[in-house]
Amino acid sequence: MSIRSKRVRSPANEMAFMERDLALADLRAVRRGVGAALRTLYSGVLHEEVPDRIAELLRQLDQGAATTAHSVRK
């Protein structure tokens, strides 16, 4: 046996729904603001040169991955 309840429309319920919608809108606005601030803060990083040591490590990883892929194909 299932019990079904009807939503009772009242000013208090309507206010609760409005507050929830506003809270979601505020959360979205905060997320957009944080995202924009992070993009602004770190946009310069994209144009910086990769340090030599990091580049060497990346080359080593690429060589290891190529060696592994080659041995798997055999």
69 vs 25: which has the higher pLDDT: 25
Q: Calculate mean pLDDT across residues 2-17.
A: 65
State CA 60 to chain mean position distance: 29
62 vs 72: which has the higher pLDDT: 62
Q: What is the pLDDT of residues 16-65, one digit of tens each?
A: 767 777 788 888 999 999 999 999 999 998 889 999 999 999 999 999 88
Domain boundaries, the chain: 11-73
CB distance 20 to 26 below 8 Å: no
Reported pTM: 0.41
CA distance 62 to 54: 12
CB distance 25 to 31 below 8 Å: no
